[in-house]
Amino acid sequence: MHRTKVRVVEDVLDANNTIARANREDFDRHGVRVVNLMSAPGAGKTSLLERALAGSLDGVRVGVLEGDVQGSFDADRLAGLHIPVTQLNTDPGFGGECHLDANMVRSALPALPLEELDLLVIENVGNLVCPAEFRVGEDVRAMVCSVAEGEDKPLKYPLMFRSAELVVINKIDLLAHLDFDLDKFLYHLDQVNPGVERLLVSARSGEGVEAWRQWLLGVAMWAEAHA
């Protein structure tokens, strides 16, 4: 019985990967590079996007696909940036899922102006568990972890930390007020994803935001080099 259960999960993930490949082909055909941005709720994904995209991104045309269970609070915040923002809610229609999967993103493709974009950031539903299991057609994965979450998180959610190409450590302006041990966090991070690129930032103070912006720019530039 146990083996049967495992098999069902594998089939679901196989089906997801097939749709994710189809999404990626569509993105590639339009020359759009895609970042899957993940974190726990409240780590600062939207704030970091607001900060990085507030000015022009050196002519790179950016759009955001905003994943949430309900509502459009984050999309409304980003609307002020005057870039294409598309809201994707997992409730209704997808049972209020706590992650985005390839099929949900596929359903949003007709609403995305792909021909007008060089870079698409998909802000996933805030959750450190299942988003890491579902490819959605992205080129790269970035995750945000705030220092308010504690230095044990890489060990508690290893799949998330292992599957990211970039780890953004946010809210460093709070370090002086917390017991968070940054060295210990980085040690744990290297245990699950040795040498992974990491940025220390504060969306609040702006510290490190330029490096984050440059990273996004680099993903988009990679598109031009390969177009």
Question: Interacting stretch for Mg ion, rule CB under 5 A, among 71-79, 138-146, 147-155, 185-193?
Answer: 71-79
In whole angstroms, give the CA distance from residue 181 to residue 174.
12
Select 98 or 178, whichever has its Cβ closest to Zn ion. 98
Strand order in the sheet with 85-89: 85-89, 62-68, 119-123, 33-39, 140-146, 166-170, 197-200
Comparing CB distances to Mg ion, the nearer of 74 and 139 is 74
Segment interacting with Zn ion, rule: CB under 5 A, options 41-49, 127-135, 140-148, 187-195: 127-135
Query: Is residue 139 at the binding interface for Mg ion, with CB under 5 A as the rule?
Result: no
To 5 degrees, how large is the angle CA 225–CA 218–CA 211?
165
- Given 130, 159, 182, 217, the residue binding Zn ion (CB under 5 A): 130
Residue selected from 98, 114, 159, 182 as contacting Zn ion according to rule CB under 5 A: 98
166: left (phi over 0), alpha (psi -120 to 50) or beta: beta
Contact call for residue 135 and Zn ion (CB under 5 A)? no
DSSP E strand boundaries for the chain = 33-39, 62-68, 85-89, 119-123, 140-146, 166-170, 197-200
Q: Is 13 in the site for Zn ion (CB under 5 A)?
A: no
Selection from Mg ion, Zn ion, none that 99 binds (CB < 5 to 8 A by kind) is Zn ion
Residue 46's binding partner among Mg ion, Zn ion, none (Cβ under 5 to 8 angstroms by kind) is: Mg ion
| Residue 98 CB, nearest approach to Zn ion (Å) | 3
Residue nearest to Zn ion (CB): 130
16 CB neighbour count, 10 Å cutoff = 17
Cβ neighbours of residue 166 closer than 8 Å, sequence gap 6 or more: 140, 141, 142, 143, 196, 197, 198, 199, 215
Note whether 170 binds Mg ion by CB under 5 A. Answer: no
Determine, following the binding rule CB under 5 A, whether residue 74 of this chain makes contact with Mg ion.
Answer: yes
Q: How far is the CB of 70 from Mg ion (least distance, A)?
A: 13
Q: Which two tokens stand for residue 69?
A: 């269970």
Q: Which residues bind Mg ion (CB under 5 A)?
A: 45-46, 74
Residue ranges in contact with Zn ion by CB under 5 A:
98-99, 130
